Chains A and B, each alone.
Chain A
Amino acid sequence: MPQAIGGVARPSPAAETWQRFRRHKLAVASTAVLALMLVAVAFGPLLWRLPINDIDFGAHLEGPSWSHPFGTDDLGQDLLARMLYGGRISLAVGLAAMLMAIVVGTTIGAIAGMSHGSVDAALMWLTDLFLSLPPLPLLLLIIYLFRESLKGLVGAELGTFILIVAVIGGFRWMQVARLVRAQFLSLREKEFVEAARALGMSSLRLVTRHILPNSLGPIIVAGTIDVAAAIIAESTLSFLGLGFPPDIPTWGRILFDAKDHLDIAPHWALFAGGAIFLAVLSINFIGDGLRDALDPRTSS
């Protein structure tokens, strides 16, 4: 249908994107699932009022029942309550760390990919440095250096949260930076970029309107993988005692506690593992949908 000049307005790019996203059924379903999880962990503890640390040796390692829908662990603590409480932390850590990694990585990768010679080399040296740093000693050092001061500033739980997000995100931005740089290196030589440059577009607009949207693919995939990695990294940190205190039931921690009882109390590990899996799954499908939606070449 021919467009009338100054006539019918085309839907904005944002609305178009949303339309394309909506067609991706799994992505929409996943958004619903993720939203449900977020609501559950945010408001669940207000509705389900069993305490998370009520030790009851008489009820230990029980399977799911009416009084304990997710069963109990080996100290008799209710798993549903623990999952809801810990879910807040796990999801928040996952999302925050991922955001940090993406933002830092994209910025550095974009700058490196767009610049020449020394800036690129310097940034790549920085990336290599971070890549070669051994995570464990660095973790120990950072946490020991900053824990007390952060605790004084913002309180124990928030302080630990900030530290963990910084540390996990801080070790994952390099991959994103390298990916973005690679995409930029390749894209900036492409014809449409040359054309836009010939038209006098400034570098900044070039990046934000043309190159960046086309590099989103790998970035989104990296982001979705990062969320899972962050949640799992947090459980490894708990294992080393660098994370949240041992009685805070993050999903990774629950999984770690449950692993030795897999053969007789599978429910314990399955609920925690299942929750992580579901969160990762939905985020990934959303990522898929987003990538398809943002790509103008998706056939309408």
Chain B
Amino acid sequence: MGRYLLRRSLIALPSLLGISIVLFAVLALAPGDPFGELASNPNVPPEVAAALRTKFGLDDPIMLRYLRWLSAMLHGDWGFSFVSRMDVDTLILQRLPATLLVIGSSQVLALLIALPVGVYSAVRPYSIFDQLANLLAFIGFSLPTFFTGLLFILLFSIYLDWLPFVYRTDLGVTGWHWYWEQFKQAVMPVAVLGLLQAASWTRYVRSAVLEVIRLDYVTTARAKGLPERMVVIKHVLRNALIPVVTLVALQMPALFGGAIVTEQIFRIPGIGSLLISSILANDTPVIMAVTFVFACLVILFNLTADILYGWLDPRIAYR
């Protein structure tokens, strides 16, 4: 397996390079302009916008801009935001805590819900529990997050006045009070995201477990007199988890820019909202940096998933 790891890591590098070229080309070709707002402002003569474009090298050929970006990246210089006039890595680091806290918790919440609920539903298919879980799951993923988020806000913030709905990174209080305030402002976005994720993951877990649970070796295990719990944990889960691992691995990078709508609604200053505002303002250095990190995470997590397959199912050989 060591060789497999080495091989995959070596492949990862040109992989990343290739991805970065495609990403850069896409961004360079996409329409829009970071200095767009200046265009509709009668006070600003057009020469200023043009001068700014030249200053940031926006009118240079694509290959040149790419190489410039690449060499900067290799030196640890992640670029300079056109819009905010500050270093991109500072921007990203500012946004990281809120992202990890809120989006990260929602993924954990989703997993904590999906695994037990999915397994239990599959073990008792078509029972009341299963039907109910299914129903909730369907409701969960058939409504867009802007809608569920709004419903939550209307109910918990406006109607009941229990929770604040604007997320603040500077809570200004300390100690236990801080934890309580943090919980109050994070619980709605975490729930919105987590429940959405849990909905689809529950379905997958259920389906995967259902497949496995009908297999002969499970019947054998039961016949051997093993308690149901053991049967499920030792035999069923390991095999059912393969598709689940795939999904979780695919979803993890979404931390880095996925929860755009939720971050908008609750005003969470996360990486998702940085990405969307950079895209809408055509702030290419920021977009490049964020999507590049995203690409690295994708590759990293896919590799992790592949390794986990091997651990879960020893018959999968590494070639």
List A residues at the B interface (Cβ < 8 Å): 116-117, 120-121, 124-125, 128-129, 131-134, 136-138, 140-141, 144, 174-175, 178-179, 182-183, 185-186, 189-190, 217-218, 220-221, 224-225, 228-229, 232, 235-236, 252, 255-256, 259, 262-263, 269, 273, 276-277, 279-281, 284, 291, 295, 297-298
The answer to whether B144 touches A133 (Cβ under 8 A) is no
User: Which residue of A is nearest B27, CB measured?
Assistant: A137
B26 at the A interface (CB under 8 A): yes
B239 to chain A, nearest CB (A): 8
Return the contact of A144 from the options B31, B253, B261 (Cβ within 8 A). Answer: B31
Contact yes or no, B142 A133, CB < 8 A? no
- Looking at the complex, which one of A129, A137, A174, A252 makes contact with B279 (CB distance below 8 Å)? A137
Contact partner of B30 among A117, A137, A269, CB < 8 A? A137
* Cα distance A144–B31 in the bound complex, in angstroms: 8
Q: Which of B150, B151, B203, B315 contacts A186 (CB 8 A)?
A: B315
Identify 18 residue pairs between A and B in the complex whose beta-carbon atoms are under 8 Å apart, listed by A's number.
A120-B319, A125-B11, A129-B18, A131-B298, A132-B19, A137-B279, A140-B31, A141-B31, A178-B302, A179-B247, A189-B316, A217-B208, A217-B210, A221-B204, A256-B146, A259-B147, A277-B138, A295-B214
Residue of B nearest to A272 (CB): B147
Contacts of A183 in B (CB 8 A): 242-243
Min CB–CB distance A133 → chain B (angstroms): 7
Separation of A280 and B22 alpha carbons in the complex (Å): 35
Q: Do residues B243 and A134 form an inter-chain contact, with CB atoms below 8 A? A: no
Min CB distance A5 to B, Å, is 28
Q: How far is the CB of A222 from chain B (nearest CB, A)?
A: 8
Please, which residue of chain B has its CB at the minimum distance from the CB of A136?
B279
Q: Which residues of B contact A179 (CB under 8 A)?
A: 243, 246-247
Q: A134-B26, A182-B242, A182-B245 are in contact. List 14 more A-B contacts (CB 8 A).
A: A133-B22, A133-B23, A134-B291, A140-B30, A186-B242, A186-B313, A218-B208, A221-B203, A221-B204, A228-B142, A252-B144, A262-B150, A262-B154, A276-B143
- A132 touching B243 by the CB < 8 A rule? no
Within 8 Å by CB of B142, from A132, A137, A189, A276, lies A276
| A189 near B315: Cβ-Cβ < 8 Å | yes
Within 8 A of A (CB), among B277-319: 279, 287, 291, 294-295, 298-299, 302, 309, 313, 315-317, 319
Minimum C-beta distance from A160 to chain B (A): 17
A236 to B262, CA, bound (A): 13
Quick check: B29 and A189 within 8 Å, CB to CB? Answer: no
Q: Check if B141 is an interface residue, CB within 8 A of chain A.
A: yes
Q: How far is the CA of A149 from the CA of B196 in the complex (A)?
A: 38
Contact A175 B11 (CB under 8 A): no
Complex Cα distance A132/B22, Å? 10
**Given A182-B309, A269-B147, A141:B250 Cβ within 8 A:** no
Inter-subunit contact B138/A221 (CB<8 Å)? no
On whether the beta carbons of A137 and B15 are closer than 8 Å, the reply is: no
Q: B211 on the interface (CB 8 Å rule)?
A: yes
Contact in complex: B207, A128 (CB < 8 Å): no
Inter-chain contact B138/A137, CB cutoff 8 Å: no
List chain B residues, Cβ under 8 A from A134: 23, 26-27, 257, 275, 279, 287, 291, 294
With A117-B319, A144-B31, A280-B138 already in contact, the answer to whether A218 and B144 are too (CB < 8 A) is no
Residue B139 interfacial (CB < 8 Å): yes
Of the residues A128, A273, A297, contact of B299 by C-beta under 8 Å: A128
Using Cβ atoms and an 8 Å threshold, which residues of chain A touch B27?
134, 137
A227–B207 Cα distance when bound, in Å, is: 17
Q: Does B182 contact A (CB under 8 A)?
A: no
- Given the known interface contacts A128-B15, A137-B279, A217-B207, the answer about A281 and B302 at a Cβ–Cβ threshold of 8 Å is no
Residues of B within 8 A of A121 (CB): 11
Is the CB–CB distance between B319 and A284 below 8 Å? no
- Shortest Cβ distance from A278 into B: residue: B142
- A298 cross-chain contacts in B, Cβ below 8 A: 214
Interface flag for B100 (CB, 8 Å) = no
The chain B residue sitting closest to A260, CB to CB, is B150
Is B141 a contact partner of A280 (Cβ separation < 8 A)?
A: yes
Whether A116 contacts B146 by the Cβ 8 Å rule is: no
Chain A: minimal CB distance from B213 (Å): 10
Q: How far is the CB of A30 from chain B (nearest CB, A)?
A: 11
Q: Mark B1-27, 1 if CB is under 8 A from A, else 0.
A: 000000000010001001100110011
B276 contacts A136, CB within 8 Å?
Answer: yes
Cα(A183)–Cα(B302), bound, Å: 15
| Residues of A with C-beta under 8 A to B36 | none
- Within the complex, what minimum Cβ distance (angstroms) separates B4 from chain A? 11
Residues of B within 8 A of A235 (CB): 144
The 9 nearest A-B residue pairs measured at CB? A132-B295, A280-B142, A189-B315, A137-B30, A141-B30, A232-B144, A277-B142, A221-B207, A218-B243
Given A134-B287, A297-B214, A284 and B146 touching (CB < 8 A)? no
A182-B214 in contact (CB<8A): no
Q: With CB as the reference atom, state the residue of chain B lying closest to A228.
A: B142
Contacts known (A128-B15, A131-B298, A217-B207); A137 close to B147, Cβ less than 8 A: no
Q: B311 to chain A: closest CB distance in Å?
A: 13
The answer, yes or no, to whether B200 is at the interface (CB within 8 Å) is: yes
Report yes or no: B316 in contact with A186, Cβ–Cβ below 8 A: yes
Q: Residue of A at shortest CB range from B143?
A: A273
How far apart are the CA atoms of A30 and B88 in the complex, in Å?
51
Among residues of A, the one whose C-beta sits closest to the C-beta of B214 is A297
Contact B143 A182 (CB under 8 A): no
Q: Is B32 engaged at the interface, CB distance under 8 Å to the other chain?
A: yes
In the complex, are the beta carbons of A236 and B144 less than 8 A apart?
A: yes
CB-based contact B279/A189 at 8 Å: no
B150: which A residues are within 8 A, CB to CB?
259, 262
